[in-house]
Structure 1
């Protein structure tokens, strides 16, 4: 007997997700099913799938899967989209808290713009002039010129599958400085194994590297799918009060048979 479920499609600066209200815990968390739902030809299509579940310590819980069907680490844009979805369900008015794989998050919504508090970052590791840090997911950050024409897939895939990262994988961010308060980034995401239109934890990681040792509280982040903004406070080698801000929208909803 086929099981029919209701789904919602959301996107945050082009980073798109299948979202399911799983507070009744009826969704079958099977890799093959999740992979098919995220397939752009044979399913709904998305960079990932997110389940909204109950949590006794917060308003709700976020469970995130990459499009390869595997449960993954924190997704910043996915978190913002889930906040928009929870607001659509009337679960809160303008401020909320939720738990994710990396801990508790705060968020607020104002006219479709979601501001999400990210985890603190203890340090940024420098590797041959490039950078490595964890903003809820592991990220590699490198600065380049002429990013618009840069071979992101080819070079991102090479770094992600290099000897240093092939086991656990890493997200690779290519960054170009536009001005003193704006950067342009493009990201190759592990688990998707391709470039995405936007990556929230990648935007955060790139912004923190850019803000390092600068006396400024925020930076605008341009991505292929639109514009984000990252706020942070530097404290020695660490960052705290990190917020990721940007739009998140419901694209469509429907039902699908599993």
Structure 2
């Protein structure tokens, strides 16, 4: 049986999403329906699908509300292939813009909104440039993976880390190498991460640091979506990896250029360890209805 969904298309530096409100969590959001909404030929088209559900109505909501009772809304995020994802850095900014546009929340410049996600509660602040999200504590992985990708003529070492979802970051030698990598084919990570991973390929700018801000370029293959024009958590992971490789004295502020634009990353101390935040734009493109 088909159901008509009233949706909004949104994007953050070209990372695009189909969003819709289902406050009570009553819509049967199957993988088939997610793929239909995200299909770029027969559906709306997007790198992912985001459902706005009241946290109290989501199966994982009780744990979220136990941590922060103010996290009224849950970002129910799914990749374009129908699989579930823990977190999406560009998506949560667009999600916040959507909640504001729909009148589901109010958020003035400088104010903070608590949002429930599968990676935990994430705080989003409205700023002049868009939105900034605290992605929480980051961590290095235990593995030392190798990555093979089409048009890279040898396996490259990667750095495994988490910013609420899994990433493997690979440093390349030049912009020419970065542009030639063929990400229409899924990079092969060895050993394979148990839950898969987003794979980022990064090149430092020359000079690496200007006016105290690190500069890098990045492309990404997202788990469950393929190559995307931007990945917010991937940008954070790429900045963290480059900072780690650069060693002592590396900056805490980073500018990450992706095919869809530019985002900012900041590393800062918190009570539970070192956190990383992401800032950038969020745009709602159009609304419509689709039977799925």
Determine if the TM-score, normalized by the shorter chain, exceeds 0.5.
Answer: yes
What is the CA deviation profile of residues 130-153 of structure 1, one whole-angstrom value per residue up to 9, with x for unaligned ones? 300011111000111224422141
**d(CA) in 1 for partners of 2:269 and 2:182?**
29
Q: Which residue of 1 aligns with 2:65?
A: none
SS at 1:153's partner residue?
A: coil
What is the CA deviation profile of residues 60-116 of structure 1, one whole-angstrom value per residue up to 9, with x for unaligned ones? 111111001122221111111101111212302232011100101101112451101
User: Is this contact kept in 1: 2:139–2:163, CA < 8 A?
Assistant: no
Q: Which residue of 1 aligns with 2:36?
A: 36
**d(CA) in 2 for partners of 1:79 and 1:43?**
22
SS at 1:118's partner residue?
A: strand
Q: How many aligned positions are there?
A: 252
User: Is this contact kept in 2: 1:124–1:209, CA < 8 A?
Assistant: no
**1:249 equivalenced with 2:283 (yes/no):** yes
Q: What is the Cα deviation at residue 241 of structure 1?
A: 3.0
Counterpart among 157, 163, 166 of residue 135 in structure 1: 163
**d(CA) in 2 for partners of 1:115 and 1:185?**
20
**Higher mean C-alpha deviation, range 84-93 or range 172-181:** 84-93
Gaps of 5+ in 1: none
CA-atom RMSD in angstroms: 2.1
User: Is this contact kept in 2: 1:152–1:188, CA < 8 A?
Assistant: no
User: Is this contact kept in 2: 1:152–1:187, CA < 8 A?
Assistant: no
Counterpart among 188, 196, 216 of residue 183 in structure 1: 216
**d(CA) in 2 for partners of 1:124 and 1:4?**
42
User: Is this contact kept in 2: 1:219–1:230, CA < 8 A?
Assistant: yes
Give the TM-score taking structure 2 as reference length: 0.80
Q: Which residue of 2 aligns with 1:209?
A: 241
